[in-house]
Structure 1
Amino acid sequence: MPFRAPDQHGVTPQRKGRFPGFNVLDSVDAWDDVTAGVVLHRLVPPADLTFFTPPEAAIAGRLLDLLLAQDGEPRVPVLALVDGRLAAGETDGWHYDDLPQDAQAWRDTLGFLDADARDAHGLGFAELDEPAQAAIIQAVQDRTRDGQDWHRWAAARSWSLWTRYACTAFYSHPWAWNEIGFPGPAYPRGYLNPGVNAREHWEVAEQDALDPVPFAARVERERHEHQRLLTPEESP
C-alpha cells in the first residue's frame, strides 16, 4: 500500500470545493504502483528550487498565485512544480519560433515584469503590493487582445507561456482533483457506469450543481474586484 500522510486527506486548494467528503487519494490502492508513485510525489515537492534563482522565484511565485487566484492556504505548490519541470527540461514538446526555449523565455519574461515594476514604481515586482502587481500583469493580458507586443515579443506568447505552465501544474495536483471531483487515473480500474449524471461508487455528487451566483451577478462582482485590485485604497 503506498504511503499517505494522514494530514493529506481530502485537502482542496484554500479549503474550497463542491464535492464534500471526496478524497481522490482514497482510490490510490486501485492504481498501479508507478501511477500511485507519480501522483503521491506531487504532494511532497522538493523544498529547494533548482531552476529559478531566488529573485526569479519571488517574481514567479507572485505571478502564479495571481494567475490562479491562490490567495490563501493550503495552496497547490505550483511554483515548485513549474520549477521542477523547467529544471528537468520537461516542456510541451514545442515552443513559439519567435521565442527562445521555454526555460529561457521564463527567465526573460520574469525579467520583463521586474523591469515594468521598476519603471512604474521604482521597486522590483516582488516588492510591490498585490494591487500594483495585478495591474502590471493585467497590462500584459490587455495587450494580447489586439495583438500588441510586450517588450520584444507578442504579449499573447508570454501570456500563453505563463498560463500553460500554471494550469498544467495546478490541475496535475490531487488537491485540485478533490476540488473538481476528478477521481484520478482510470487505469487499471476503469469505469463501469458511463452516462450523464451516472457515478461510480467511489465518486461523490456535487454539492450544488447549480451555480449559486447568477452569471450577471458574477460578472459584476468580478468587475468590481478587478477595479479594486487596480485602484489602491485611500488611507482614511
Structure 2
Amino acid sequence: MGGPTLFLLHGLGLSSRSWDGVVAALGAGVEVVALDLPGHGEHAASSAITLQESAEWVAARIREREPDEWLVAGHSMGGKIAALVTAWGERGEHGLIPPTGLVLVDASTPSPEPMSEQRRTAMEAWWADGTISEADAAAYIAANLAGPAVPEGVRATAIADVRRTSRTAWLEWLRRGSLEDRSADVGVLRTPAVVIVGAEDPDLGAPNQERLTLPHVPGAPVHEVDGAGHDALLEQPAEVARFIAGHVREVAGRAPLPGAFARLIASDRVSARTRRVMLARLGEPGDAPRALTPAQRSLLGAVLARVLPQRGVHLDLAGRIDAALATGGGDGWRYAELPPDAEAWRRGLDTIAGEVPDFGVLDAAAQDAVLDRIDAGALGSDAEGRLTADRMTLWLRDVQAEAVRTWLAHPAAQAWIRYDGFADGGDNERKQGFTTTHAGEWEAWQRDWRTGKELQA
C-alpha cells in the first residue's frame, strides 16, 4: 500500500484493541499497525516493561516493517513512548529513519505525568493481592470516560484488557515510567505533530498539554474532542480518526528523506557521529533573520536563485547561510581582502541594494547581467559599509562556493545526486570501506538503496 505507515500505541492497561474503533473509522486509506506494548495484550508476559525497554521494543517493530514513511500515534502511556521514539527517529538512533508525523492522544507528557498521589496510590492498591478485580478494572475504565455512552462491547473489551495486563508492567509505569523526566531526551521535535485530547480529561487535557507537551512540539494544533474524557479513542473514535486522518493527509509524501536513503544513513555503515550531523541538517532555519536584516536576507534569496537554480531538492539556502553566519559556521576560510564573513556578506548585499535597488524584481536575464558585471569587476562602491568592485568579485565567488557547499551538505540533496560516499564504515572496530572502485560498478549495498522506488523519478 502506498503512503505512510501509522503505528498505534495504546495506554496503560489497554491493548491494540483500544484502537479498533479508530482504525475502522480511518478505513482502508491508511495503513495502520496497532501494537500490543510489552506487559499488555498478547505481550503481557514480556519482561521488557520499563519506559526505555518499551520504546526500544517499539523501535524494533518499526525497523522490522522498513517503512519508507512512518508516523506514530500514542494514547496516554503510549504517547510518552511515541514522543521518545519520534526523537530517536529524528536523530537516527536505534536504527530508525526520520518520521513523517506524530499524533498524541491524551498523551502522557515527556516530563513527569501530572497525576495526584491519591489516584496513583489507589491504582497501585488495586493489585495488592496480585490481580485486579473486575470491579476495580471497571472503575479504572469508568474514571477515564466522560460518560456511559461507550458501547458495552467496547467497555467489556477494555475491562478484559486491564485484567490481562501484567501487574509488574502496571506498577512499573505508575512508580517509575510515568514519573520519568524524558524532556531532555525528547527535546524540541521538528516532526509535524498533532495533539488530540478529550475535552473532559482532567489530568492530560488541553491545559496541561499546552503547558507540558507543546514546548516539545511547537506549533502543533491541539484538538479537543467533545464528549470525551481521557480515553477519547474509546468514546469518540470517529472524531479522533478524523483528526488523525487529516494529519496523515497533510504529511503524506513529505518524508524528510527517501526511505531507502534514510535506511542507509541508519545502517551500520554510517557512524553515529556522521548520522547525527547529517540528520541535524534536516532542520529548517526558520523565518527570522539572524546575521542579516530581513531586506538583506530577501535580497540574498534572489541572488542565490540565480547563482544556484535548484533542481530536485529545493532548500532555503538564504536561511541556512544566514543561520551559519550568525553562529560562525562556514567553510573555515575567507579571502584576505574581505572582512569577516558575516560583515562581508552584509556589505556585499548592501552594495547590490545600493547600486541596483530593484534587483529583486528584475527578470532572470537582467539579474544574471548584474551578476556578470560583479564577476567582471564592474560593479562596486567606495561608500562606507560597501565593497569595491574588485572585492565584490571575490564576494561573489564566496557566495557561489557557499551556495553549492550548503546545498550539497543537505542529505536530501545527497540522495538526489545518489551520493553515498559517507557510508564507508560505522562504529565497528573494522570499517567496511569499499571493495568495488571501478566506474559504473556498484557494491551490493549500493544497489539496494539505489533501486528504491522513491529514487526512480
Normalised by the length of structure 1, the TM-score is 0.68
By relative contact order (CA 8 Å, sep 6+), the higher-ranking structure is 1
Hey, what's the Cα distance between the residues in 2 that align with 1:67 and 1:167? 9
Q: Specify whether residues 195 and 169 from structure 1 end up closer, same or farther in structure 2 by C-alpha distance, changes over 3 A only.
A: same
| Identity fraction in percent | 24
> What's the CA shift for 1:29?
1.5
Q: Specify whether residues 202 and 138 from structure 1 end up closer, same or farther in structure 2 by C-alpha distance, changes over 3 A only.
A: farther
Hey, what's the Cα distance between the residues in 2 that align with 1:23 and 1:65? 29
Q: Specify whether residues 149 and 135 from structure 1 end up closer, same or farther in structure 2 by C-alpha distance, changes over 3 A only.
A: closer
Q: Equivalent residue for 2:274?
A: 35
Residue 138 in structure 1 maps to residue 378 in structure 2: no
Q: Equivalent residue for 1:187?
A: 425
Q: Which moved more, 1:165-174 or 1:45-54?
A: 45-54
Hey, what's the Cα distance between the residues in 1 that align with 2:337 and 2:396? 14
**Among 371, 380, 404, which residue is 1:150 paired with?**
380
**Among 63, 66, 86, which residue is 2:306 paired with?**
66
Q: Residue 92 of structure 1: SS of its match in structure 2?
A: coil
Letter of the 1:65 partner, please give it. Answer: A
Q: Specify whether residues 130 and 5 from structure 1 end up closer, same or farther in structure 2 by C-alpha distance, changes over 3 A only.
A: farther
Q: Does the aligned pair in 2 maintain the 1:98–1:153 contact within 8 Å?
A: no
Q: Does the aligned pair in 1 maintain the 2:260–2:450 contact within 8 Å?
A: no
CA-to-partner distance for each residue in 1:84-132, whole Å, 9 max, x for gaps?
22111123333222211111110011111112223xxxx3x32434333
Q: Residue 36 of structure 1: SS of its match in structure 2?
A: helix
Residue 161 in structure 1 maps to residue 398 in structure 2: yes
Q: Does the aligned pair in 1 maintain the 2:374–2:389 contact within 8 Å?
A: no
Q: Residue 133 of structure 1: SS of its match in structure 2?
A: helix
Normalised by the length of structure 2, the TM-score is 0.37
Unaligned runs of at least 5 residues, structure 1: 11-21, 208-236
CA-to-partner distance for each residue in 1:155-196, whole Å, 9 max, x for gaps?
431221111111110110122212321114123242232223
Hey, what's the Cα distance between the residues in 2 that align with 1:92 and 1:9? 25
Q: Does the aligned pair in 2 maintain the 1:24–1:184 contact within 8 Å?
A: no
Unaligned runs of at least 5 residues, structure 2: 1-94, 101-254, 382-387, 427-431, 452-457
Q: Residue 8 of structure 1: SS of its match in structure 2?
A: coil
Q: Specify whether residues 53 and 149 from structure 1 end up closer, same or farther in structure 2 by C-alpha distance, changes over 3 A only.
A: closer
1:8-157 to 2 correspondences below 5 Å? 8-10=256-258, 23-30=260-267, 31-48=270-287, 49-70=289-310, 74-118=313-357, 123=358, 125-141=359-375, 143=376, 150-151=380-381, 152-154=388-390, 155-157=392-394
> What's the CA shift for 1:149?
6.6
Q: Specify whether residues 41 and 4 from structure 1 end up closer, same or farther in structure 2 by C-alpha distance, changes over 3 A only.
A: same
Q: Residue 291 of structure 2: SS of its match in structure 1?
A: coil
Letter of the 1:37 partner, please give it. Answer: R
More strand by share: 2
Q: Equivalent residue for 1:201?
A: 444
Q: Specify whether residues 177 and 137 from structure 1 end up closer, same or farther in structure 2 by C-alpha distance, changes over 3 A only.
A: same
> What's the CA shift for 1:64?
1.0
Q: CA RMSD in A?
A: 2.7
Hey, what's the Cα distance between the residues in 1 that align with 2:450 and 2:312? 23
